[in-house]
Amino acid sequence: MIKKIAITACALVLCACSSAGKISDIDTGMSKQQIISKLGNPDKSYSKNELEVLTYLNRKPKTFSFDREDYQVVLINDTAAEITPTSKLSK
């Protein structure tokens, strides 16, 4: 039982590390579909008229760290206009 828990914990850590750098693959000018294909569905999103904001939680582009950065991708007419970190929490 303890072995299964340890294996599961290791798998979760490795998955978290593998998705951490994906935000660095995003650039302004990319389409919404290109962003979603690289980052997956956003954790949160909202829109108003031609403006849409996609929020991705805890996608820090650096190596493993105890810092947390969430990112917002601002889309205008389905094209990325701005990519910004929204918060930084140190543990």
Domain extents for the chain?
Answer: 2-90
Judged by DSSP in three states, 7 sits in helix
Q: What is the pLDDT of residues 46-74, one digit of tens each?
A: 999 999 999 998 755 555 555 667 899 99
Beta strand ranges found along the chain (DSSP E): 44-48, 51-56, 67-76, 79-90
- Cα angle at 12 between 46 and 72, to 5 degrees? 20
* CA-to-CA separations, 3 to 7, 8, 9, 14, in angstroms, rounded: 6, 9, 10, 17
Question: Over 50: is that where the pLDDT of 10 sits?
Answer: no
- Could you say which architecture CATH assigns to the domain 2-90? 2-Layer Sandwich (3.30)
Q: Tell me, what's the pLDDT at 61?
A: 52
- As a whole number, mean pLDDT of residues 79-88 equals 84
Q: What is the pLDDT of residues 19-29, one digit of tens each?
A: 444 788 899 99
Question: Over 50: is that where the pLDDT of 42 sits?
Answer: yes
Q: Tell me, what's the pLDDT at 76?
A: 96
